[in-house]
């Protein structure tokens, strides 16, 4: 049988999406019931990543149907962005040769699937001494960011929170990605931080005396985002927080509470926030922000004009990313 890409009757722009089947039914996080059935795929991913000399640390069956998670070792920001690009392209090409379709789209347009996030962990180090800005501290339940991250680390976190609405436009660059922001789905809906809290936008980890220092996990980005833009945006927002000594609010134990400032609900809302954030635009480059927003506004218009939203997502997102 001809695949859609080979059938001249199916030629279109964008082309027909591939016909797919699930590799596991999901909802058994870290369960080994399907480990053997998924080994051909996980083995291919492992070998490809290792042959590309990527710092792959673990692969696991995730919560959602046919969903997997890959974890990489920490490195500098530019190398991390390079690694993300090589991983996405390398894995897609390697598995396609064996008849598998890999997608990094945030929410595949099928009933009952779960959306995927890209959890970006970040640590600060002093350039001169290479020591962590947020060193190990005694375990504490304090809700003060500085108690866990130190003064500059807390200011970095505060900068990420301050610019979160604009960061959404850069970290979640597709209309598809905003379907992920629903309560109690291990995804953020509001602009807050917490201690090892998977519902918060920012999660502070490693502040218990172990490892090489505390770190921040930003759970905002989607996995199809441009890694260079995502990491540049983190740096711009965090450095802005340090430069202006921005103070972080207390940690939240209820990240889905209505009292919190909400993340943008749509791509259009996020773009509006980006264009209104002059401070972030100055750090990223005003010409870049205007150019980026212009392109994304055209994408918003095309998505809104689609007569069949699911078919649009299948062709424009699922099949291409």
Judge whether residue 4 has pLDDT over 60: no
Q: What is the mean pLDDT of residues 241-265?
A: 93
Residue 127's pLDDT band, with cuts at 50, 70 and 90, is: confident
Residue 241 is predicted with a pLDDT of 97
Q: Give the global pTM.
A: 0.92
Residue 71's pLDDT band, with cuts at 50, 70 and 90, is: very high
Q: Judging by beta carbons within 10 Å of its beta carbon (0-12, 13-18, 19+), is residue 69 exposed, middle or buried? A: middle
Residue 19 is predicted with a pLDDT of 86
Question: Which two tokens mark 222?
Answer: 């989607």
Q: Which domains does the chain have, with CATH numbers?
A: 31-102 (no CATH), 117-321 (3.30.590.10)
Q: What is the mean pLDDT of residues 33-61?
A: 94
From 163-167, 206-210, 256-260, 282-286, the region with the lowest mean pLDDT: 206-210
Judge whether residue 212 has pLDDT over 70: no
Residue 79's pLDDT band, with cuts at 50, 70 and 90, is: very high
Question: Which two tokens mark 216?
Answer: 């921040």
Share of the chain above pLDDT 90, in %: 66
Lookup result for tokens 């199916």 = 10
Q: What is the mean pLDDT of residues 124-129?
A: 86
Residue 1's pLDDT band, with cuts at 50, 70 and 90, is: very low
Within 8 A by CB and 6+ apart from 20, the residues are 101
Question: Which two tokens mark 128?
Answer: 């001169």
Judge whether residue 231 has pLDDT over 80: yes
Q: What is the mean pLDDT of residues 85-99?
A: 95
Within 8 A by CB and 6+ apart from 304, the residues are none
Residue 2 is predicted with a pLDDT of 41
Residue 28's pLDDT band, with cuts at 50, 70 and 90, is: confident
Question: Which two tokens mark 224?
Answer: 């199809």
Q: What is the pLDDT of residues 165-176, one digit of tens each?
A: 999 999 999 998
Judge whether residue 16 has pLDDT over 90: no
List of long-range contacts for 211-214, beta carbons under 8 Å, 24+ apart: 211/136, 212/123, 212/132, 212/136, 213/123, 213/132, 213/133, 213/134, 213/135, 213/136, 214/123, 214/132, 214/134, 214/135, 214/136, 214/137, 214/148, 214/149, 214/153
């Amino acid at each position: 049988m001809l695949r859609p890409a080979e059938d001249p009757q199916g030629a279109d722009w964008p082309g027909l999406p591939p016909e797919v089947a699930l590799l596991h039914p999901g909802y058994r996080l870290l369960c080994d019931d399907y480990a053997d059935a998924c080994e051909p795929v996980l083995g291919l991913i492992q070998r490809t990543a290792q042959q590309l000399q990527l710092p792959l640390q673990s692969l696991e069956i995730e919560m959602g149907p046919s969903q997997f998670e890959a974890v990489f070792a920490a490195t500098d920001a530019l190398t991390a962005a390079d690694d993300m690009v090589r991983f996405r392209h390398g894995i897609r090409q390697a598995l396609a040769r064996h008849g598998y379709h890999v997608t990094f789209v945030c929410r595949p347009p099928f009933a009952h699937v779960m959306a995927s996030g890209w959890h970006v962990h970040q640590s600060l180090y002093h350039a001169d001494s290479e020591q962590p800005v947020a060193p190990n501290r005694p375990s504490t339940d304090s809700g003060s960011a500085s108690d866990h991250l130190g003064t500059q680390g807390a200011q970095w976190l505060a900068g990420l929170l301050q610019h979160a609405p604009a960061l959404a436009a850069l970290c979640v660059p597709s209309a598809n990605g905003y379907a992920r922001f629903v309560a109690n789905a291990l995804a953020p809906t509001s602009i807050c931080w917490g201690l090892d809290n998977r519902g918060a936008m920012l999660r502070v980890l490693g502040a218990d005396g172990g490892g090489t220092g505390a770190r921040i996990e930003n759970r905002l980005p989607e996995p199809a985002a441009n890694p260079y833009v995502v990491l540049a945006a983190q740096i711009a927002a965090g450095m802005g927080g340090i430069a202006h000594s921005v103070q972080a609010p207390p940690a939240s134990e209820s990240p889905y509470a209505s009292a919190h400032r909400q993340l943008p609900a749509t791509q259009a809302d996020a773009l509006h926030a980006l264009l209104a954030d002059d401070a972030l635009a100055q750090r990223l480059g005003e010409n870049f922000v205007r150019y980026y927003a212009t392109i994304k506004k055209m994408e918003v218009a095309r998505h809104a004009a689609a007569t069949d939203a699911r078919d649009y997502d299948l062709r424009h997102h699922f099949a291409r990313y």
